[in-house]
Copies of this chain bind each other. A is one copy, B any other.
Amino acid sequence: MQTHIAGIESVRESPWRASGAALAEPAAKAFEVKALEAFGTVVLVSRDHEVYAEGGPADYCYRVVAGAVRTVKLLPDGRRQITEFYLPGDIFGLDGFAARYFAAEAVADATLIRYPRRRIEALAEEDPRFARRLRDMASDSLRKAHEQMLLLGRKSAQERIASFLVALAERPRKGAADGIELPMTRGDIADHLGLTLETVSRVLNRLHRDDVITLASTHHIEVHDLATLREMAGEV
């Protein structure tokens, strides 16, 4: 298997071709357009390396094939907010026309397809359905952002963790029904939910003790009682 070397590495044997339904998650549907796929390039990014930097040029957008990506905003003293995680099937990097508003980094070794924004813009101009799809995606990012603001501004630690787990559990996945993969560390989760890693650990273990979830291994959780978890999330 190909190893992930430091930083970004473009694989030259592109264009890349979709290998069947396994990779075709709903959010990615819009990108299964022949005209665009021809311009997709496979990119490998190793864990904790940048896909792009805050303030850099916004020339490409990406689709996650494998691994996971986080978008990050930093304060000068190092405090960090992870604004979003992107898992296989997700598209990111469509935001920010002139320059990137935030950095994107690989949470775990990631395989991405990179598309030139120019091509996307061009395609959007000639295909209104595709343009519409793009706007829907932008709209959905904004919905998630507002949801997250509610979480960060008004929910308790337990409600935040529960909301996070419910969101993950509700993602369409290929594998087992109640098994969730957590490719990120406790620290990443903390920086996404506005908590400390100790609090994340404590709440997860409390949920385990209360038989709502099982901590099968550090990066694998099983949800026993999704209904209870939903209640705990505070949205009723």
A154 touches B101 (CB 8 A): no
Interface string of A85-117 (1 = CB under 8 A from B): 000000000011100011000000000000000
B150 touches A149 (CB 8 A): no
A125 within 8 A of B: yes
Q: Which residue of B lies closest to A96 (CB)?
A: B139
A29 within 8 A of B: no
Q: Which residues of B contact A145 (CB under 8 A)?
A: 142, 145-146, 149
Residues 112-158 (chain A) with a chain B CB within 8 angstroms: 125, 128, 131, 135-136, 138-139, 141-143, 145-150, 152-155
Q: Which residues of B contact A154 (CB under 8 A)?
A: 75, 79-81, 191, 194
A234 within 8 A of B: yes
CB of A40 to closest CB in B, whole Å: 21
Q: Which residues of B contact A135 (CB under 8 A)?
A: 97, 135, 138
How far, in whole Å, are A147 and B79 apart by their CA atoms in the complex? 13
Residues 184-236 (chain A) with a chain B CB within 8 angstroms: 191-194, 234-236
Q: Which 5 A-B pairs have the closest CB atoms?
A: A153-B194, A145-B145, A152-B152, A81-B150, A79-B154
Residues of A in contact with B (beta carbons under 8 Å apart) = 71, 73, 75-77, 79-81, 83, 95-97, 101-102, 125, 128, 131, 135-136, 138-139, 141-143, 145-150, 152-155, 191-194, 234-236
